[in-house]
Amino acid sequence: MREIIIDLKALKDNLKRIKSEANVPVMAIVKADAYGHGLIPCAKAAIEAGADYLGVALLEEAVALREAGINAPILAWLNPPGLEFESAVRLNIDLGVSSIAAFDEINSIPGARIHLKVETGMGRNGFSNEWVELLNRELNKVVGVMTHLARADEPSEIQNQEQLKNFDVRVAELHAKGVKPIRHISNTAATLSNAAARYDMVRVGIAMYGLSPLGRNENFKPVMKVRAKLVLVKELPAGHPIGYGATVKTDRETKIGIVGMGYADGIPRNASNVAGVTFNGESAPLIGRVSMDQFAVDLGPNSKAKSGDWVTVIGENFDAYDWAKACQTIHYEITTRMAPRIKRSYEN
């Protein structure tokens, strides 16, 4: 009674557009189950659209790609010491490294391919105080160097330029050691707004899925559509409380639709009536609190909806931007939190 429909042609078109504009190799980011869109189908579509690399956060995601028969270059970058690095190397998975401990483990494995992640101002994972010690190690397995921009979605912020300068210093230090790795720093926002940050490769995530970190005006093609059935449609009088805590009451006699999705499916509990669903082109705002498996919408007194009808939850009148605004969060969170129990189907 609920499903997610993924338009793979739209995904391919978005990636082709980005690659054409960037004019450098593209790493398609498919971490977090391809931002909730489905890891394997989206990875295959990205490769068909010309992706040069696939990028994931977790090693198990990279292994899943290999087990699915995907042979393209893959980078997994969030690696604490102690993982199954020898298996990863046998599977020809590039490994991101942010610490001496992880570097020493991986560097001892014949055939390993290492991307050093360096601290440039994000304050998250990446070499900082251990960098000088690292430079005294044997670095012949280093094939890439990377960092991450903290404010790329704010292109005018000076921190972006400061991070590029810091990155260039680290790259120069590697060059002085005879290492000339692939340089990559740009996420989607930087790829779209900062040509100077493209270096040797860009890492593209959210825009591939039809959403932009810079806002709707980028006009990428929507990839995800979420729909669910109305479990029940019923008439309620004015002043009737809705949901846990009776936080809302109907402001008139109206028809209420009970949508068969809830926070266990990824619908945020704090969603307000800024978001809602679409039935036959008409908007029905969410009303009351979201429950674990269901939420209520105000269909209006004249609605023709009936129990068992499908409504569009994400897509049509309410997209991921609208749901993010309703929940005071970002559209990345809306798509990535869509639960595995919702069936995915793929078009094109």
CB 193 within 8 A of CB 160: no
Are residue 175 and residue 242 in the same domain, yes or no?
no
- Distance between CA atoms of residues 271 and 288, nearest Å: 9
Which residues are catalytically annotated?
31, 244
Task: Give the domain range for residue 59.
Answer: 8-209
Are residue 182 and residue 47 in the same domain, yes or no?
yes
| pLDDT tens per residue across span 305-334 | 999 999 999 999 999 999 999 999 999 999
Structural domain total, the chain: 2
pLDDT of residue 215: 80
pLDDT of residue 272: 77
Closest CA to 114 of 88, 136, 84: 88
Which residue, 176, 209, 242, sits at the end of a domain? 209
Average pLDDT over every residue of 134-139: 96
Are residue 103 and residue 196 in the same domain, yes or no?
yes
Are residue 164 and residue 243 in the same domain, yes or no?
no
Average pLDDT over every residue of 154-174: 96
Are residue 30 and residue 170 in the same domain, yes or no?
yes
Cross-strand partners of 201: 184
Q: Give the CATH number, domain containing residue 240.
A: 2.40.37.10
pTM: 0.94
Cross-strand partners of 40: none
Cross-strand partners of 186: 202
pLDDT higher than threshold 90 for residue 219: no
From residue 99, how far is each of 72, 96, 291 by CA, in Å? Answer: 26, 10, 42
Average pLDDT over every residue of 17-36: 97
| pLDDT tens per residue across span 46-91 | 999 999 999 999 999 999 999 999 999 999 999 999 999 999 999 9
- Distance between CA atoms of residues 299 and 320, nearest Å: 20
